[in-house]
């Protein structure tokens, strides 16, 4: 199998650039504009280093040091009343910045506030698990590993959650092709029948625009079904449904409605 | 001395019917196609509707079984993921001969709209398929029609044991 080479410039090189296009930015606000968030940020800043913090779409985003993640999450849960970890995952910035941005989306039922903890890690850097603080982090961290290859230390059961255990590659990386690499395209054939079966079964048909003009005639018309791969003849006769009573199967007779009896007397 | 003239070749004379072994065996096989409960995605909902009282598969003798060892028809209803591919092969191998497979819906036929890394591009890459049903999802009438087509085909088969089992390769 040919070794998979990462396509590093996928993000750097865009297919089309509009010189006058200005990418829309969601406006950011100062944390001081919200009293609850300001108090939360003050409590975090008292113990940990915060590199950046702002409010976006009424949710506070706080950038912290990746080493402090477990302590920060403990603080958020025990003291700041953020009792739910809605989601945590990574964002692929490998081509642009050489690593991942990891986010933890938090919800406080009491304060009716949502907060997002973020930090940046290098590609080969491992992060600390928070699954002992929030149970929901268990599967979310496994998915993060499955989809991005981010190693999570201290996780009780660190293995893939969606893809098969013997899968190669991490599908949500931006360098991962949508139709899969060679391993993915031959996965089921290799696993069930072995690599020597590749030439027998053949490659996958991945062309979404492929049209067989005979499909409408021999595949999608009732009464015109033909065998797989058979030639369709323009003058082909219809093949209507034959019921088994028509074919003379024993013990089965076609209902003759003139012989049927309508029962009017219920006590017959 | 016989009081009545008995014509053995006509039913009504005596409860005796004359036919061939092929006819009897295929009559039995085609009218008791027990299907494996195998809903993989949304097509499974249509398959369940076909089995429920409104469309009523029971009158075809098609009863859903939860075990591959008691079923001879596998209706692959839905998207087959690559992770699941080995299990469909295993279930197919567990079914007793003779066995038939209906590939129900676009996803099972070709992978459908899931032109991605995680989807098998057609179940016929893993197991041999007897009948392809188009549609996304096919209505219960279509599935009924498909089962009736399969019954027609079974009635034309030989009931001989020397028939080769179907193999993908």
> Which CATH fold topology does A28-153 show?
Beta Polymerase; domain 2 (3.30.460)
| CB contacts, 8 Å: A222 with chain B | 145
Alpha-carbon distance of A244 to A148, in angstroms, equals 57
Q: What are phi and psi of A141, to 5 degrees?
A: -70, -35
**B105 pLDDT more than 90:** yes
**Cβ-based neighbour number of residue A239 at 10 Å:** 13
- At residue A265, the pLDDT reads 84
B82 contacts A179? CB cut-off 8 A: no
The residue in chain A having the minimum alpha-carbon distance to the alpha carbon of residue B125 is A201
How does pLDDT run across A99-149, given as a tens digit for each residue? 999 999 999 999 999 999 999 999 999 999 999 999 999 999 999 999 999
The shortest CB-CB distance from B19 to any of A177, A204, A250 is to A250
Mean pLDDT of A154-178: 93
Interface of A with B in 177-206 (CB under 8 A): 177-181, 184-185, 187-189, 191-193, 197, 200-201, 204-206
How does pLDDT run across A168-202, given as a tens digit for each residue? 999 999 999 989 999 999 999 999 999 999 999 99
pLDDT confidence tier of residue B160, bands split at 50, 70 and 90: confident
Helix axes B43-51, B140-156, angle to 10 degrees: 70
> What is the SS3 assignment for B169?
coil
- At residue A99, the pLDDT reads 94
Alpha-carbon distance of A99 to A94, in angstroms, equals 5
The shortest CB-CB distance from A244 to any of B11, B85, B155 is to B155
pLDDT confidence tier of residue A15, bands split at 50, 70 and 90: low
**A78 pLDDT more than 90:** yes
**Which residue matches tokens 């323009």?**
A234
Q: Which of A143, A171, A181, A192 is best to mutate for the B interface (most B CBs within 10 A)?
A: A192
- At residue B80, the pLDDT reads 95
pLDDT confidence tier of residue B9, bands split at 50, 70 and 90: low
Q: What are the boundaries of each domain within chain A? A: 28-153
Most confidently modeled range among A60-74, A214-228, A233-247: A60-74
Q: Pick B105 or B7 by higher pLDDT.
A: B105
- ipTM beyond cut 0.90: no
A220 contacts B117? CB cut-off 8 A: no
Strands (E) in A44-112, as ranges, are 50-56, 59-64, 84-93, 99-108
Torsion, Cα A39 A42 A46 A49, to 10 degrees, reads 140
């Amino acid at each position: 199998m040919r070794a998979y080479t990462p396509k590093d410039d996928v993000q750097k090189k865009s297919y089309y650039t509009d010189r006058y296009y200005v990418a829309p930015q969601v406006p950011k606000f100062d944390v001081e504009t919200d009293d609850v968030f300001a108090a939360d940020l003050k409590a975090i800043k008292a113990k940990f280093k915060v590199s950046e913090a702002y409010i976006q779409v009424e949710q506070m985003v706080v950038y912290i040091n990746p080493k402090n993640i477990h302590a920060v999450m403990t603080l958020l849960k025990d003291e700041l009343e953020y009792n739910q970890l809605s989601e945590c995952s990574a964002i692929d910035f490998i081509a642009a910045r050489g690593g991942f941005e990891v986010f933890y989306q938090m919800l406080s039922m009491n304060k009716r506030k949502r907060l997002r903890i973020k930090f940046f890690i290098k590609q080969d850097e491992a992060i600390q698990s928070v699954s002992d603080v929030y149970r929901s982090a268990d599967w979310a961290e496994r998915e993060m590993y499955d989809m991005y290859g981010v190693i999570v230390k201290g996780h009780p059961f660190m293995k893939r959650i969606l893809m098969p255990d013997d899968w190669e590659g991490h599908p949500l990386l931006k360098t991962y092709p949508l139709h899969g690499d060679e391993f993915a395209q031959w996965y089921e054939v290799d696993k069930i029948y072995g690599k020597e079966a590749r030439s027998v079964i053949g490659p996958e048909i991945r062309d979404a625009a492929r049209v067989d003009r005979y499909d409408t005639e021999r595949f999608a018309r009732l009464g015109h079904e033909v065998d797989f791969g058979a030639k369709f003849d323009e003058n082909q006769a219809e093949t209507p449904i034959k019921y088994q009573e028509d074919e003379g199967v024993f013990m089965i007779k076609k209902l003759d409605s003139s012989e049927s009896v309508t029962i009017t007397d219920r006590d017959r | 001395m016989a009081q009545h003239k008995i014509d053995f070749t006509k039913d009504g004379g005596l409860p005796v019917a004359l036919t061939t072994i092929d006819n009897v065996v295929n009559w039995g096989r085609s009218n008791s196609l027990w299907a494996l409960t195998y809903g993989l995605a949304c097509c499974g909902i249509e398959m369940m509707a076909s089995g429920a009282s409104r469309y009523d598969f029971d009158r075809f003798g098609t009863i859903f079984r939860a075990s591959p060892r008691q079923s001879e028809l596998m209706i692959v209803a839905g998207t087959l993921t690559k992770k699941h591919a080995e299990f469909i092969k295993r279930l197919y191998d567990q079914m007793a001969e003779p066995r038939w497979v209906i590939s129900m819906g676009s996803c099972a036929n070709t992978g459908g709209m899931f032109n991605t890394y995680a989807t098998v591009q057609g179940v016929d890459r893993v197991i041999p398929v007897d009948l392809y049903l188009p549609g996304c999802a096919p209505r219960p009438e279509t599935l009924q029609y498909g089962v009736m087509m399969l019954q027609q085909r079974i009635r034309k088969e030989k009931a001989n044991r020397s028939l080769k089992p179907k193999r993908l390769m």
